[in-house]
Structure 1
């Protein structure tokens, strides 16, 4: 019976083509190659990114919607398509979506399944304020990687930590060789986090079956880790009669990000403490337009949606408050989708300009003998043509991407792999554009004169 329930919670995954089919035509996801593997991630999370699989119109769509929720750093071998690592599926805060409301709710004539603590076994685990990492084989070696790569600065820190601490590699190799993905949380005093850590720690938080997506039960994970001397995420010591009771009790904790309610069938829900929410979501700041943009572009709006509470006026039915919450969440989702679409369109426009300018520069005699001179010519041409609010971003893009191989190939003309090269270049341009805009939200003047025009002058309020 347990395996039948788990099969309904997760899709079985064996080959990269399953993920490609699931995200085809949806721009909210990213496939990126690193060395001998490809990794899938979502770029922005809102209702359109992760529709509720329970409301899918047919089995194929349901499987695709389940697979979309696996795009949190899932890794495949680039040549064989074999699955290498399956990280946490995308899960949400209690109260963030209709499907994560703590009681039974009627939505669009559909009954949304309640979160029932009595239905099956569960454990409540402390939520660490770090980043998840997991080991997988790349180029014949077992390496730890973040959700994007094993080569970035954070991954290098983790691999150095693992190399100097006994137990991690042997423990990980044993599980990986059996077709599982151990998932750890990396917490470091070097990271800018709400919860402060005095020393780096690497804590086991889950072990997942690569094929089925099932999670090893907490007790079994504890026993295996204890034998290897590996620290394991702590279970919350309190007790609760219902999800509402659990929310109230965890909400009062201090010095803790929150907890994860994890059912034995693999369903998970985040519960944030009030202390943590006040550190990350200032109610005064959230009224500022630039902070809304910053949260959306940083992909942090889920915490805001999960913490939204509406207090109905005295004498009103509680459903009125719920309708207020639902309307506000829908407004956030619509605005997020529109903003992301506008930013992606701007990144595409800038990429097309760079490609055309690179072609023109090469045609006028540049392009081979002096790369630095070519870059200067390219920057000068693009900056001259750019609008005032675009100039700083154009300089940044040209500085980083003027000699990018994929752009050189695109500028040279169509050929094998042209579509893939364009997609890779667009992903990089989009990433850099979003980073530039996030930095610009720190100051109101920069936001008003540069960031908002880049997003096509949208207004949330």
Structure 2
């Protein structure tokens, strides 16, 4: 029988970085360890709340995840003093997005885990009490997940927090359906991370601990033959989202089935620009790219990049105009906004003045545009968008 509360690995505590086999996890103790790495317009932002702060990404450009530290910016949680409370999963990519099957060293120890179709949930201590959070914080999904957390789940979560580690779960439910249906609400243990070093607990150790507490663990699939052979056949499967390949050194890859992507309406109809735009606005590009021919994937990613650049440019333009109006009365602000800003950006400026956020207001313009080609054409110049559906051909299988 294992001891429920395990000691932290001491060797890596002050090393600065944990070095795995090709995988680097930066040591993070305080929000100040991260902030210098995310300065500038790179899609990563800090969200401030009354009880905690988060660092995450709203969109990603080519440079968003170009360092180990930035790949950690997928929902890091800090208390109000800046101390790290919980690290969810680091950002890992679809097979084919950064590495193709033939480029991977499959001789490295690894497991093939089922990819569940729900919401990532993790615990954190806030004001002395344990709460559950999604990547974005204490959301409605997190509250719902917490209401279904059994005492066994809570006990394991508390035990790992006491040991300086964060348990990561997937919350699946008939009421939290993404694509795949589930009969009942459940939290399934996916991983356990060390809060300081970022290293992942080995699967066997995690499985033993879950057994001790009576908590369900994500399924690990036995592979008969080369792993790459299995993965090449995954795209045609149905009734599962896909798989995650978890290497012992911490490196991870994901592969979603074509059936899943199609059900997400990401592949169907991409010859129409409004569907391509919907993929960008809904952050669904990752579901599509691994399933596309290289040229088609390149075109879709370029389309996404142009739009994201346009969002950042427009946000900066509005912010620059509002900075000149600081301290002016509302009447003066309204007059100058109406006289100097493109009429399509005026609602963005007024929402920003009301504290609702310019970026979300700009995204609302794009969301509205997805309803028709006419609406897209009306804002095309704002975002420098261009799309040629005739060049977009999706391969089967």
TM-score range, shorter chain: 0.7 to 0.9
TM-fit CA distance, 1:274: 2.2
State how far apart, in whole Å, the 1-side matches of 2:353 and 2:37 are: 33
Q: Report whether the alignment pairs 1:347 with 2:291.
A: no
TM-fit CA distance, 1:181: 0.9
The answer on whether the counterparts of 2:34 and 2:69 sit within 8 Å (CA) in structure 1 is yes
Tell me, what secondary structure is at the counterpart of 1:337?
helix
The structure having more radius of gyration, on CA atoms, is: 1
Tell me the C-alpha RMSD between the 2 structures. 2.9
- Flag the 1:258–1:341 CA change in 2: closer, same or farther, 3 A: same
The answer on whether the counterparts of 2:23 and 2:251 sit within 8 Å (CA) in structure 1 is no
Q: Report whether the alignment pairs 1:124 with 2:123.
A: no
Corresponding residue of 1:115:
104
Tell me, what secondary structure is at the counterpart of 2:47?
strand
The answer on whether the counterparts of 1:184 and 1:204 sit within 8 Å (CA) in structure 2 is yes
Mapping 1:16-165, distance limit 5 Å:
16-51=31-66, 65-79=67-81, 81-97=82-98, 100-103=99-102, 114-119=103-108, 121-150=109-138, 152-162=139-149, 165=150
The answer on whether the counterparts of 2:236 and 2:259 sit within 8 Å (CA) in structure 1 is yes
TM-score (normalizing by structure 1)? 0.73
The counterpart of 1:301, out of the listed 282, 285, 295, is 285
Tell me, what secondary structure is at the counterpart of 1:286?
coil
Tell me, what secondary structure is at the counterpart of 2:170?
strand
The answer on whether the counterparts of 1:357 and 1:382 sit within 8 Å (CA) in structure 2 is no
Corresponding residue of 1:273:
257
Tell me, what secondary structure is at the counterpart of 1:430?
helix
State how far apart, in whole Å, the 1-side matches of 2:203 and 2:42 are: 36
- Flag the 1:167–1:343 CA change in 2: closer, same or farther, 3 A: same
The counterpart of 1:182, out of the listed 167, 181, 184, is 167
State how far apart, in whole Å, the 1-side matches of 2:375 and 2:326 are: 29
State how far apart, in whole Å, the 1-side matches of 2:267 and 2:306 are: 24
Moved more, 35-44 or 2-11: 2-11
Superimposed CA distance per residue, residues 256-286 of structure 1 (whole angstroms, 9 cap, x where no aligned partner): 1100011111111111112112223554511
The answer on whether the counterparts of 1:73 and 1:147 sit within 8 Å (CA) in structure 2 is yes
The answer on whether the counterparts of 2:114 and 2:243 sit within 8 Å (CA) in structure 1 is yes
The answer on whether the counterparts of 2:76 and 2:88 sit within 8 Å (CA) in structure 1 is yes
State how far apart, in whole Å, the 2-side matches of 1:286 and 1:363 are: 45
The size of the alignment, in residue pairs, is 373
TM-score (normalizing by structure 2)? 0.84
Tell me, what secondary structure is at the counterpart of 1:190?
helix
Tell me, what secondary structure is at the counterpart of 1:167?
helix
